[in-house]
Amino acid sequence: MDNLLAWLHTVGWAVYVGGAITMEWVLRYAQRTMPPSQVAEVCKRSGARYRWFGLVSILVVGATGLAMLLRIDDASLAGRAGHPELSLGDAYGQTLLLLTVAWAVLLAAVSSMAFWLHPAQAKRSQPEMTKEEVQVERERVGRAIRNMDRVLKLELAVSVVAVGLGASLHAGGLL
């Protein structure tokens, strides 16, 4: 059971963080040479899938993380480097708390992408719209894409910090 939880936790983080790195470092690079209309189409299509991958993986991370936390006992902690304690007075407990905050920020970021920012990218142009209305609609979609970009950057930064915090738990915590 411990093996399974640790594996699911690792895979959840890997899909989330690796996905964020790939979206930022690979997709954004490829988009630089693409015409804006195709950038919008690729953004819409990739975002449509990525948001669900992100949401499921961050929920798996949360569920398995909580299950692993509940299974920690004094005996298992005693065998770890730095002899950590599950208390807010100890670096291990403080790091775990900060990791939980980072997870909550990531959940908020990916939820905002899934339920708000990505749906906002859909164009709602109608044939009867005036030029001004079409322009307003284009600007609104452009803003939604820019907001999505900002959230992607934020989630990448927070997720990399979270991996660092998680890695420090092997050595008793970072704080």
Partner 1 sequence: MPTDLTTWLHIIYSFLHDISIATYIGGAIAMEYVLGPAQSSIPPAQAQVMGQKTADRFLWLVWGSLGVIIVTAVLRLEKLGHLSFTDPPFFQSNLALTQDYGRTLWTMFGLWCVLVANGAIMTFYLRPRLAGKLKAGTSAAGVQASQQAKMEAARWVERITRTDIVIALVIALLGASLRFGGLL
* Closer residue to partner 1 in complex, CB, 88/129: 88
Among the residue ranges 11-19, 112-120, 132-140, 146-154, the one whose residues contact partner 1 (CB under 8 A):
11-19
Q: Which of residues 18-57 bind partner 1 (CB under 8 A)?
A: 18-23, 25-27, 29-30, 33-35, 38, 41-42, 44-46, 49-50, 53
User: Which DSSP state fits 86?
Assistant: S
Applying CB under 8 A, what is the total number of residues that bind partner 1?
Answer: 49
**Cα→Cα distances 32→29, 120, 121, Å:** 6, 22, 19
* Closer residue to partner 1 in complex, CB, 33/130: 33
Residue written as token pair 């015409």 = 35
In the complex, least distance from residue 98 CB atom to partner 1, rounded to whole angstroms: 12
SS3 39: helix
DSSP3 helix / strand / coil % (the chain, rounded to 5): 80, 0, 20
Do 103 and 17 meet the contact criterion of CB atoms below 8 Å apart? no
Q: How far apart are CA 137 and CA 125, in angstroms?
A: 7
Residues in contact with partner 1 by the rule CB under 8 A: 2-3, 6-7, 9-11, 13-23, 25-27, 29-30, 33-35, 38, 41-42, 44-46, 49-50, 53, 81-82, 91, 160, 163-164, 166-168, 170-172, 174-175
